[in-house]
Structure 1
């Protein structure tokens, strides 16, 4: 009877999520519902699936009580609205009907065409119009008119009585009760961006739009039994049981080859063996055995097409585009992926298990994570979208929800509260005071109901779906501002339906590497094979820099925590770097396992292993389970579980396994199997304790290895081509640190770094020989128009010769010219800044003048004899600080009023262990952490006067509420401590030092 049900996926309209809807329907013993969310089908498949599950899954004690299971018949459709006004709603008669509705909505979304007032001719779809619609035509065979019970009186002598078979019950469902209706009104006000009291009545649902018992609904229409019969007949004609076969097979495109599955198998085998020879040479027995094992499982799980589609993407990127990529994630556990060049991680060298990626018992779909440079990813995405047919490829969506303080702000706005009051309500320091405020308590009450409700649909960071059957069987498509069609649900629903996404991601680290290779070729005329990883990892120079922990600018290994770890480990090889990339993760570090690993790393002969199996399998990590793969190893070799069960157990312990009963069975199987191996109960219990305590925050070894490969590539470029590498880092917007740190590193390479210059700078930083010019992009306040125009005009028509010509050729405005003059970008004129400022005012005055480039005669501009205008170094430095966010040639230490620079330098800290020292440090960054007592402590990173890094620790009992006061230099009194030969300062006193003020700002 319920033909028009809205869930919370009817964004800022419906109030009940799908489980709540179904639970309320079960409580009222409702046997059929039609989910018709507004202009979307986000929840359609979820609704069908959950109705089916709830219909068959009844707890045993419920059966004993006499509550026998019954099945809610799920039907789905879409409610179509234009400008917040209901046009009609469509109800799918079948799976094909759902596709028809989805493609109808998708077409209008993608083409940005308004929905028509009348539905087109549809097959396998019923259309229901509201009773208030006026018809100037006969209704089609699939068209009906819905009546609310309150509208029955209007039927008297109504023309529709001559088409009785077209009238159906219309009882919309939007809210669950009066409280839910109040929430609905808040949602409508937020959607319409208006006050709660100003929401029009026709923009809200009726107050009675909630579920009632079927018998009660029929009673309301008992005077018109034919309407009830029409409605029942309509629902009976709908059959979406085709959706009930959930996840029996992958929904991804099954075959890459048009000829079918067998051709896919043959092609994958041929390409894999060709890659095997490239990676391992001929007749490598270990590699052949491994590749045969993987191919068998890939064929069994019907993943040949998935591998081949990924290979096709990589082939396009490496071939025509010459793009660099990194394949990471659990896919790097596969030798087939390694041979297809999807990844550069050798699974044999690292003893990686394919079962971590795919095995016979895996039910959730795995995927590859492929990273490209940030400015090249779009090309790859466009290739994929264009390669596959319309409706068969789309981006994965995301659904953002209402969260925390944002909810308070939204509610406060629709209540008409002033901004200052809203700010106060979201200030955590005023929490106790707010609790006494009646308005705040009202906001919190609404917050409880709105928290985590769907707010808006968006696009996933990189997930793409390529479907065997049209995706529109499962979702309508949106077209977000990025311009790629997108499904209307997220990755969790995609997995539930049976889709494996292709993750096409981007990262700055790849951009650094790729641009550095291009710059090196241009500046040094050297071609670099950046994929020659085997050479990089054995290079003693690279490993020496790793050991010293100074890889600033290098992907993943430049952060203070990572630099400290590298020094503590004295890391000087690839395998240790792989381990470091894993143990740096928050869970491992906070658990104490990082410290344990470092201790054992430096004293491997003192490691005591629990048993022989633990020593054999964990010798490389000194008995510490560092990786997820270690969990699999122990479960397999110690307890005797097969590799498939070992990975399922690993996944279950990480919180990604939903069946509690199945998990308990696996735990029991672990203990039973371990006993069969002859292990004692005490030993088994201890091994299980270690596994279970670690597995929840373990990290994939393949993932760590992928990061380590990229780190070595960055390290190679920085070691042998430091100037070009640091320019590339700057042009890809840096990494972990602020921009000035990378400029500092560039200067340390010996490069002559220049301020922006209109005759030498480009949009980005450039380098010619040993001279590097900062680009226009970094200038605060300079408009994009002039960032592009100034170098473009110079390249087309030659260098600028004087200020007047520069003004005429660029048509620059007075304000923009002043920015460039203050920064010294017009120093080519040979005039000082203040003279140039005088001149620019004489050219442009207080209004911009249009110059005619095509002058017949050049007019000589009148010159004046100016008095001697003084320029100071500190004044220039302040201008650079304002316009670049850092002074280029004026140290932050030079701003200080004091000449004191500390009694110890960073390079000498190891000579003062246990002593109290004074240091002066230029602030780089800080990190806040919470202690076990829920108090705050801080870690700081600074540069001394010599440009060397040192680190500080600020404990709660010696530190004010918040010790750092932004960029600048600090006086630090503290005790030098050492942890595994890494010195740092435990701060006792800490204060920011006073500076000389800008003379221009001083009266």
Structure 2
């Protein structure tokens, strides 16, 4: 390691209480200034760890993982002091994960997670400790003139962390810092303890100090000019270069040299991108693969008996089609190592149904799996509706399957409790999610901490359009009134300038709406946990993306009020039917071709019908006049900004009503081979499955390759799209299609993808 200095103490935005450092810009800046390594030591959490680890490695920088922790001495009278713990190896990572988790589960003081000094005696292996500087227990004692206490504390730390304890020095221009530093150097010499320099970084550039102060004030609910506010930070806590740090500590060069030595000692190899499924109990004498094949075939037999008349001469033909599709799916599921995933989902959905908890019929890409249909995970026949398995599980792109499962709102928590009981409460948790400083809110927050008037904040906030994904930059571009107001009003411009620096920063954490992870062992073997002060509401500290990177499998338990309402309605109806000696109404047996229902819909009488109840949707229903189930499916796909604004909706209606020619897909560019895929939608490309079918039929793609094309179109990456266009056109030419036809068909598919 050639650099003279490495930053070993740094808070990112994920500290939540302070810190303005964003992960990707940090990694880029560290690489730019030639520093070979960087540590992330957020306040008692690993919220940003996976993102940091990946970003640093991608930038060619060595990531050092750690945490700033608050420590409560078991024998003290409640004084909280700071320590920095850095991970040396995998054992250290496990120990710090456990310490952070215990701090939340057992050590919270008024909502603040704390670590007991006695825990460090047990969980210290693989960890390096920095004393915490002026705010550590040693620093507190030295500044108070209690040198003897400082000596005892340092001796204890050196005993608990043999050859892994460093006395931390800082020069950031804060109160008592220099007095502490001189006393600490004397103490280090007296006890032969190495010293190390840190800059206690909170922001990347020095110019971000004011924005960081505002961030702290927003968290604390104070204003910047509040005389009672504690000034805990200085404008020196930026990401100094090696040269700056060397100059700052030229009188104590060993404090600089030791940063590099510590960086060399920290060698965590984090295993990311592997999957670890919990064990599903299977009958003895069988492998998990054999068991999945057996119950899938058995489940399909039951489904086929319900779908078709087995005496019909065409039954063997239908049976062969379904058997071949099932065998194909099972082969992929087994090759990708996911039998356990399907069995676990089957188990908790089966339990929910057996316990009268309404479960949705299936939605999202998971409805494209015949195995899921056979196992009663879903209740939709994917073959009948032309749903493709490769959209769910693609052998050409290895990623975890992900079922979106809807449960009745009243029963969802019972299902999660069952899963926790089944696999162990220590192995099941929900997933953290982060609230960020969004455009409208950050303007109001900044105005408040700057002491600006409520009226000004309100006016400025209301000039920002109310749209999902709206940013301050977009708002200025779109709204002339806003840009003119900012140009004319200095106070508004001052708010805006600081809001731009804070926009998008993580401000708090909560619980993901539906995500649940089930670990093969304890959750803390994979991720630290966060919880309420009373130990309830356990969530993983990694978000829904990072938790999968860490090896845990995510299951979506979504609460849907519509299912609850349908359940209530069925129960009320069946009470009446029972009184009238009629058979009970069974939801699954309600016909999908009931003419009276379609007549009601055509009149727009869809109030309180899931996804068909808005005023705009009712207008579209009246225009379209649905008379078959496929039209209802099409309505939901059409009622989006892209199709509504592009003319696609009018084209679809005109084709359905016979007012326009049905072509596959365009009057000038069409081919009969596309008719089977496009006929259900009158030749209009409406579904992602149709894009995949066209890619297969005309471009010669496998369905796995077609799924990659679909994803590329969704991401709108120009470079990848150019590559896919060439693949499609060359594949089509190879199949005998004209180049101009293939190119124009690709344009139409790309146009569809642009509707989002």
| Aligned counterpart for 1:378 among listed residues 413, 420, 445 | 413
Residue of structure 2 in register with 1:592 after alignment: 647
Deviations 1:279-299 (A, max 9, x none): 112761111111000001111
Distance in 2 of aligned mates of 1:399 and 1:563: 36
Query: Counterparts in 2 of 1:432-451, with a 5 A limit?
Result: 432-433=484-485, 435-451=487-503
CA contact (8 A) 1:480 1:486 kept: no
Query: How big is the shift at 1:259?
Result: 8.7
Distance in 2 of aligned mates of 1:310 and 1:101: 32
Distance in 2 of aligned mates of 1:594 and 1:674: 29
Distance in 2 of aligned mates of 1:197 and 1:100: 41
Deviations 1:187-215 (A, max 9, x none): 11112211212376855323222222335
Query: How big is the shift at 1:12?
Result: 4.3
Change (3 A) 1:373 1:554: same
Query: Counterparts in 2 of 1:491-570, with a 5 A limit?
Result: 491-494=544-547, 496-497=549-550, 499-525=552-578, 528-533=584-589, 535-570=590-625
Query: Counterparts in 2 of 1:389-408, with a 5 A limit?
Result: 389-408=424-443
Change (3 A) 1:547 1:416: closer
SS in 2 for 1:241: coil
Residue of structure 2 in register with 1:488 after alignment: 541
CA contact (8 A) 1:164 1:227 kept: no
Residue of structure 1 in register with 2:476 after alignment: none
SS in 1 for 2:406: strand
Query: How big is the shift at 1:17?
Result: 0.4
SS in 2 for 1:463: strand
| Aligned counterpart for 1:409 among listed residues 444, 466, 477 | 444
CA contact (8 A) 1:96 1:473 kept: no
SS in 1 for 2:361: strand
| Aligned counterpart for 1:128 among listed residues 127, 130, 143 | 130
Distance in 2 of aligned mates of 1:663 and 1:387: 46
SS in 1 for 2:290: helix
Residue of structure 1 in register with 2:108 after alignment: 113
Residue of structure 2 in register with 1:694 after alignment: 752
Q: Which residues of structure 2 form unaligned runs of 5+?
A: 1-5, 72-77, 139-149, 172-176, 311-315, 465-480, 665-669
Query: How big is the shift at 1:228?
Result: 4.3
Residue of structure 2 in register with 1:233 after alignment: 261
Query: How big is the shift at 1:232?
Result: 3.4
| Aligned counterpart for 1:91 among listed residues 86, 94, 116 | 86
Q: How high is the TM-score relative to the length of structure 2?
A: 0.83
Q: How high is the TM-score relative to the length of structure 1?
A: 0.63
Query: How big is the shift at 1:524?
Result: 4.1
Query: Counterparts in 2 of 1:50-69, with a 5 A limit?
Result: 50-55=55-60
| Aligned counterpart for 2:166 among listed residues 133, 144, 163 | 144
CA contact (8 A) 1:165 1:227 kept: no
Distance in 2 of aligned mates of 1:605 and 1:154: 87
Distance in 2 of aligned mates of 1:346 and 1:51: 46
Query: Are 1:73 and 2:62 counterparts?
Result: yes
Deviations 1:498-520 (A, max 9, x none): 65521111222111110112222
Query: Are 1:655 and 2:715 counterparts?
Result: yes
CA contact (8 A) 2:435 2:507 kept: yes
Residue of structure 2 in register with 1:276 after alignment: 300
Distance in 2 of aligned mates of 1:200 and 1:13: 18
Larger relative contact order (CA 8 Å, sep ≥ 6): 2
SS in 2 for 1:506: strand
Query: Are 1:325 and 2:360 counterparts?
Result: yes
Deviations 1:748-768 (A, max 9, x none): xxxxxxxxxxxxxxxxxxxxx
Deviations 1:279-327 (A, max 9, x none): 1127611111110000011111111111111111101101134434332
Distance in 1 of aligned mates of 2:79 and 2:631: 60
* Greater strand proportion: 1
Bigger shift: residues 157-166 or 181-190: 157-166
SS in 1 for 2:63: strand
Distance in 1 of aligned mates of 2:203 and 2:732: 54
Residue of structure 1 in register with 2:471 after alignment: none
Q: Which has the larger radius of gyration?
A: 1
Distance in 2 of aligned mates of 1:419 and 1:463: 38
Residue of structure 2 in register with 1:623 after alignment: 683
Distance in 1 of aligned mates of 2:265 and 2:8: 13
Deviations 1:122-156 (A, max 9, x none): 22222222244234342222433211256485148
Query: Counterparts in 2 of 1:402-481, with a 5 A limit?
Result: 402-428=437-463, 431=482, 432-433=484-485, 435-468=487-520, 470-472=522-524, 475-480=527-532
Query: Counterparts in 2 of 1:914-929, with a 5 A limit?
Result: none
Query: Counterparts in 2 of 1:136-285, with a 5 A limit?
Result: 136-137=152-153, 138=155, 139=157, 140=160, 141=162, 142-149=164-171, 151=178, 154-155=182-183, 158-198=186-226, 203-243=231-271, 246-247=272-273, 249-251=274-276, 253=277, 255-257=279-281, 263-281=287-305, 284-285=319-320
Query: How big is the shift at 1:390?
Result: 4.7
Query: How big is the shift at 1:39?
Result: 2.0
CA contact (8 A) 2:402 2:554 kept: yes
Query: How big is the shift at 1:238?
Result: 1.6
Residue of structure 2 in register with 1:679 after alignment: 737
Distance in 2 of aligned mates of 1:467 and 1:261: 25
Distance in 1 of aligned mates of 2:324 and 2:520: 32
Query: How big is the shift at 1:577?
Result: 1.9
Residue of structure 2 in register with 1:825 after alignment: none
Query: Counterparts in 2 of 1:7-86, with a 5 A limit?
Result: 7-55=12-60, 72-81=61-70
SS in 2 for 1:532: helix
Residue of structure 1 in register with 2:475 after alignment: none
Query: How big is the shift at 1:23?
Result: 1.4
CA contact (8 A) 1:324 1:514 kept: no
Query: How big is the shift at 1:88?
Result: 0.9
Change (3 A) 1:199 1:379: farther
Change (3 A) 1:604 1:259: farther
Deviations 1:426-451 (A, max 9, x none): 34297444542221111111011111
Query: How big is the shift at 1:477?
Result: 1.7
SS in 2 for 1:4: coil
Deviations 1:529-583 (A, max 9, x none): 53424x4213343344334432333222233333333333332222222222222
Length, aligned pairs only: 675
Deviations 1:705-740 (A, max 9, x none): xxxxxxxxxxxxxxxxxxxxxxxxxxxxxxxxxxxx
| Aligned counterpart for 1:665 among listed residues 718, 723, 726 | 723
Distance in 1 of aligned mates of 2:358 and 2:619: 33
Q: Which residues of structure 1 form unaligned runs of 5+?
A: 56-71, 699-1003
Residue of structure 2 in register with 1:640 after alignment: 700
Query: How big is the shift at 1:629?
Result: 0.3
Change (3 A) 1:641 1:254: farther
Query: How big is the shift at 1:605?
Result: 9.3
Distance in 1 of aligned mates of 2:25 and 2:285: 42
Residue of structure 1 in register with 2:174 after alignment: none
Distance in 2 of aligned mates of 1:38 and 1:300: 42
Residue of structure 1 in register with 2:313 after alignment: none
Query: How big is the shift at 1:50?
Result: 1.2
Question: Cα RMSD over matched residues?
Answer: 2.9
Bigger shift: residues 579-588 or 488-497: 488-497
Query: Counterparts in 2 of 1:601-620, with a 5 A limit?
Result: 601-603=656-658, 606-609=661-664, 610-620=670-680
Bigger shift: residues 482-491 or 322-331: 482-491
Distance in 1 of aligned mates of 2:737 and 2:500: 51
CA contact (8 A) 2:102 2:115 kept: no
